[in-house]
């Protein structure tokens, strides 16, 4: 087998803060205006990457974006030099400033949807950057993400994001799971949407539309028999599963999900299983966690399903879970029972602390974009795209040099913060061999 899954984690940016911006995202709403610790957040992210490297899972990084995005503030009518733009926005439109200052690009699972080269006749890796139109702060990510992906993956086909309309709302790999027997063999792509047309029945507006999922599958040139579309259950969306990866995670032939993740329940899981069996020649190993054991609310609180399910270098299947799973009694009990249950194909659970990100509704799986790459494709990546422990050491030193350890809402208007962010990104693009990718570098 030559193709392996590489996890590209979004590096947490210097403006990481809590602005209550995530629609349907309960943690983001709850922590609005709380003081943040960007340095601690970035170090937590790097510590998670180190754990992955030690597990023998190839690890990559995606750089943060330039924030506050003063170009976006100018498009919103604020004029003058950067300091004036920031001051005027803070005074007249603090919500716009918060949106333009968000470090939300850290949640790399929303950067794009990915198709490995083996899954199409052209043999190319395809990436479809997400348009993230559900919220202003996230919609600002798409152009820079597209540019960065083109730099990092020079041989891949990086599409343009879908047209920016709520009817085409696309949130990337957070609503997509690729299932297979081996990464080189045939695969099933499961696309999960929250809404089909205009029939919203949920309290929170669903973010991913069926029309968008269909367009992404088309762009990735997937044959109909390789695609399954599933609808999220309205109950899951209203319990805080604003992306499917809050209630479901897959890896190769394993699918771990909450009983109430999908609108069709067991029938949806059966459809996926039939497709996997027909195309990949293996039975799907589905682990459906019943609501009677883990209520949906506990699944969302603990982010059990936002764990990373990975193949360690020694062949074990490891669930890399957020620390909150240990603090949620129903989830801790389910994990304890699962450890001895022969029907649960998880060999080990490793707990990571990503609390700073969790307070914005971003668990371990939100922080990473999975890209299946062959050896040759890995060799052709931009030089700094993949990290080992020495590179993680260097990135930690970079964070300690450039990041603040306290950020309050009022600090977002501080022109010095923008300068610090630019200095950090200039140093980082040099470290990663990316060249000039940000507006301030042109
Ligand atoms: O889009 N939070 C992000 C969290 C994204 C998590 N990603 C996945 N589930 N894959 C969101 O809601 C909060 C920002 C703030 O409130 O400051 C935020 O955007």
pLDDT in tens, 115-127: 999 999 999 999 9
200 pLDDT band, cuts 50/70/90, is confident
Domain that holds residue 395: 4-238+268-274+368-441
Whether 332 is in a domain gets the answer no
Instruction: Tell which one of 18, 20, 25 to mutate to probe ligand 1, the residue whose CB is within 8 A of the most ligand atoms.
Output: 25
pLDDT of 301 reads 98
Domain count, the chain: 1
CA 327 to chain centre: 23
Predicted confidence (pLDDT) at residue 442 exceeds the cutoff of 90: no
Over residues 127-132, mean pLDDT? 98
| Phi and psi at residue 161, to the nearest 5° | -60, 160
pLDDT of 69 reads 98
For ligand 1, say whether the CB of 246 is within 6 Å of any of its atoms: yes
Predicted confidence (pLDDT) at residue 254 exceeds the cutoff of 90: yes
Whether 366 is catalytic: yes
Whether 36 is in a domain gets the answer yes
pLDDT in tens, 289-320: 999 999 999 999 999 999 999 999 999 999 99
Over residues 158-178, mean pLDDT? 98
Whether 304 is in a domain gets the answer no
Whether 252 is in a domain gets the answer no
Q: How far is the CA of 28 from the centre of ligand 1 (A)?
A: 7
Give the residue from 143, 153, 108 showing the smallest Cα distance to 7. 108
246 CA closest ligand 1 atom index: 9
SS3 sequence of the chain: CCCEEEEEEECCCCCCCCCCCCCCCHHHHHCCCCCECHHHHHHHHHHHHHHHHHHCCCEEEECCCCCCCHHHHHHCCCCCCHHHHHHHHHHHCHHHHHHHHCCHHHCHHHCEEEECHHHCCCCCCEEEECCCCCCHHHHCHHHHHHHHHHHHCCCCEECCCCCCCHHHCCCHHHHEEEEECCCCCCEEEEEEECECCCCCCCCCCCCCEHHHHHHHHHHCCCCHHHEEEEEECHHHHHCCCCCHHHCEEEECCEEEEECCCECCCHHHHHHHHHHHHHHHCCCCEEEEECCCCCCHHHHHHHCHHHCEEEECCCCCEEEEEEHHHHHCHHHHHHHHHHCCCCCCCCCEEEEECCHHHHCCCCCCCCCEEEEEECHHHHHCCCCCCEECHHHHHHHHHHHHHHCCCCECHHHHHCHHHHHHHHHHHHHHHHHHCCCCCCHHHC
Give 60's strand partners: 8, 386
Give 205's strand partners: none
Q: How far is the CA of 121 from the centre of ligand 1 (A)?
A: 35
For ligand 1, say whether the CB of 22 is within 6 Å of any of its atoms: yes
Question: Closest residue (by CA) to atom 12 of ligand 1?
Answer: 22
pLDDT of 220 reads 98
For ligand 1, say whether the CB of 171 is within 6 Å of any of its atoms: no
Whether 418 is in a domain gets the answer yes
Over residues 74-101, mean pLDDT? 98
pLDDT in tens, 378-431: 999 999 999 999 999 999 999 999 999 999 999 999 999 999 999 999 999 999
Give the residue from 275, 287, 58, 311 showing the smallest Cα distance to 186. 275
Q: What is the mean pLDDT of the chain?
A: 97
Global confidence as pTM? 0.98
Report the relative pairing of strands 126-129 and 157-158 from DSSP bridges.
Answer: parallel
Over residues 318-331, mean pLDDT? 98
Place of tokens 């139109």: 133
For ligand 1, say whether the CB of 113 is within 6 Å of any of its atoms: no
For ligand 1, say whether the CB of 366 is within 6 Å of any of its atoms: yes
Whether 389 is catalytic: no
CATH code for the domain in which residue 389 is found = 3.75.10.20
Q: Who wins on pLDDT, 2 or 321? A: 321
Whether 296 is in a domain gets the answer no
Whether 381 is in a domain gets the answer yes
176 pLDDT band, cuts 50/70/90, is very high
Whether 100 is catalytic: no
Residues whose CB is less than 8 angstroms from the CB of residue 286 and which lie 6 or more positions away in sequence, other chains included: 254, 255, 257, 269, 272, 273
The angle at the Cα of 366, spanning 104 to 25, to the nearest 5 degrees, equals 65
Integer Cα distance of 410 and 371 in angstroms: 38
1 pLDDT band, cuts 50/70/90, is low
Whether 357 is in a domain gets the answer no
Torsion sign (Cα): 295, 297, 301, 303: positive
Predicted confidence (pLDDT) at residue 145 exceeds the cutoff of 80: yes
pLDDT in tens, 28-67: 999 999 999 999 999 999 999 999 999 999 999 999 999 9
pLDDT of 19 reads 98
pLDDT of 2 reads 87
Place of tokens 């062959």: 374
């Amino acid at each position: 087998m030559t193709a392996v899954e590489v996890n590209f984690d979004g590096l947490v940016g210097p403006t990481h803060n809590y602005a209550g911006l995530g629609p349907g995202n309960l943690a983001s709403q709850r922590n609005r205006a709380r003081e943040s610790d960007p340095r601690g957040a970035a170090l937590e992210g790097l510590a998670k990457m180190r754990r992955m490297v030690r597990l023998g899972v190839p690890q990559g990084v995606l750089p943060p974006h330039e924030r506050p995005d003063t170009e976006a503030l100018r498009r919103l009518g604020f004029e003058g030099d950067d300091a004036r733009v920031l001051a005027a926005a803070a005074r007249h439109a603090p919500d716009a400033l918060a949106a333009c200052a968000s470090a939300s690009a850290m949640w790399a699972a929303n950067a794009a949807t990915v198709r490995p080269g083996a899954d199409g006749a052209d043999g190319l890796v395809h990436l479809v950057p997400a348009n993230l139109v559900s919220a202003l702060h996230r919609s600002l990510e798409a152009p820079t993400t597209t540019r960065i992906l083109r730099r990092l993956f020079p041989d891949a086909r990086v599409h343009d994001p879908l047209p920016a309309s709520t009817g085409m709302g696309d949130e990337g790999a957070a609503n997509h799971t690729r299932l297979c027997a081996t990464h080189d063999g045939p695969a099933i792509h499961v696309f999960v949407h929250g809404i089909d047309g205009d029939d919203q029945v949920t309290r929170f507006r669903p973010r991913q539309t069926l029309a968008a999922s269909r367009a992404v599958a088309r762009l990735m040139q997937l044959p109909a028999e390789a695609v399954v579309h599933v609808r999220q259950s309205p109950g899951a969306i209203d319990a805080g599963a604003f992306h499917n990866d809050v209630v479901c995670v897959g890896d190769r032939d394993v699918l771990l999900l909450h009983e109430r993740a999908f609108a069709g329940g067991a029938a949806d899981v059966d459809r996926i299983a039939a497709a996997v069996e027909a195309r990949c020649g293996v039975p799907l190993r589905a682990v459906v966690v019943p609501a009677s054991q883990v209520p949906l609310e506990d699944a969302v609180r603990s982010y059990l399903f936002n764990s990373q399910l990975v193949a360690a270098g020694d062949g074990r299947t490891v669930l890399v879970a957020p620390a909150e799973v240990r603090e949620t009694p129903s989830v801790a009990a389910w994990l304890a029972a699962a450890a001895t249950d022969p029907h649960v194909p998880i060999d080990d659970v490793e707990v990571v602390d990503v609390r700073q990100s969790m307070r914005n509704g971003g668990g371990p799986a939100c922080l990473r974009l999975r890209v299946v790459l062959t050896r040759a494709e890995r060799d052709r990546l931009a030089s700094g795209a993949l990290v080992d422990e020495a590179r993680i050491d260097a990135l930690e030193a970079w964070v300690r040099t450039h990041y603040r350890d306290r950020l309050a809402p009022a600090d977002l208007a501080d022109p010095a913060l923008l300068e610090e962010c630019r200095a950090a990104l200039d140093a980082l693009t040099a470290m990663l061999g990316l060249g000039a990718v940000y507006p301030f570098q042109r």
